Amino acid sequence: MSEIKNETQSKESVSISKNTIYGIGIVILVALLTIGIMTGGFGLFKNTNPANNTTNTTNVTNTTNNTIIPGITQLSVTTGSITAYGQANALVTWLEFSDFQCPYCWKLYAQTNNYVKTNYVQTGKVKMYWKDVPLSFHDKATSAALAARCANEQGKFWEMHDKIFDNQQTWTSQSVSQFETTAKGYASALGMNSQTFDTCLSSKKYINEITKDANEAASLNIDNGAGYPKGILGTPGVLLLLPKNKTNLNTLKTAASAYQLGIYQDLNNYIVFVGGAYPYETFDAVLKTVTYS
């Protein structure tokens, strides 16, 4: 709250000779001219040196960072322990909650991800992270998640990720034990230490990490509409984390509304939720709202 103070000031009549006024005026004028020369003319004269005439063309909506924007729901997410695919300094984070046995997750992989990798990941703009959400009615989803994490232990997560998805239509008809034998064959073909991988898979070494991912998906503050609980309720679900200081919010809202996508935020990022096997064009529209230079 501001406070206005009323002050009573006394007025005094002072007699000053004309010569004194002229003298004071000349002194002030000389001082102003001197300062004007030193400071470039008080802004009244343009600096004609191109090196000093820089224009800031950054939209003010792109300068927001470390700020919570009113009216946008906040999300708190982690990227987890699986090695990222892409350059560490990529501006945008792709965080996928997925299930290796899910046919829609395969569709996202087969029809969308390769274009994203070519145009955004391999060009250093986006890095990808994976979170496991094995659905209860997919009997081999947990085993597949365990196999991929055991591969991650040997620096081969994304190779195993691709191998499992590329052959999804083959192993989905197998029993759990048959799939585990198949996964061990994938590991050997990818050049992993077979004994280390086999022990890791058989012991279900990373089951707690998988459960943690699934619990996180269910707990996220994502609105699914009236009558539905919050969270990521199905797979695939992708969160795109776009840095606020590189993203025009108005442009992002236009792109998101065209595909009925929700926009969320954390302190530094706008977060767009893409729930389902959307085509590449959907992701491209969102990713284009970022200034990568």
Q: How many helices (H) and strands (E) does the chain have?
A: 11, 5
pTM score above 0.85: no
Q: Which two tokens stand for residue 183?
A: 């996964």
pLDDT at 67: 87
Band (pLDDT 50/70/90 cuts) for residue 271 is very high
Q: Kindly tell me if the per-residue pLDDT of 41 is higher than 70.
A: no
- Phi and psi at residue 258, in whole multiples of 5°? -65, -25
219-263 confidence digits (pLDDT tens): 999 999 999 999 999 999 999 999 999 999 999 999 999 999 999
The Cα–Cα gap between 47 and 243 comes to: 35
**Tally of CB atoms within 10 A around 126:** 26
Domains along the chain with CATH numbers: 92-287 (3.40.30.10)
- Sequence letter at residue 167: N
The Cα–Cα gap between 108 and 148 comes to: 18
- Rounded to the nearest 10 degrees, what angle do helices 141-153 and 194-202 cross at? 140
Q: Kindly tell me if the per-residue pLDDT of 7 is higher than 60.
A: no
Asked if 192 and 149 count as a contact pair (C-beta separation under 8 A), the reply is no
Q: Kindly tell me if the per-residue pLDDT of 48 is higher than 90.
A: no
- Sequence letter at residue 282: T
Q: What is the mean pLDDT of the chain?
A: 83
Range name among 5-9, 76-80, 149-153, 252-256 with the lowest pLDDT average: 5-9
104-129 confidence digits (pLDDT tens): 999 999 999 999 999 999 999 999 99
Nearest to 127 by CA among 172, 83, 176, 94: 94
pLDDT at 66: 76
Within 13 Å of residue 283, how many CA atoms lie on the same side as its CB?
Answer: 30
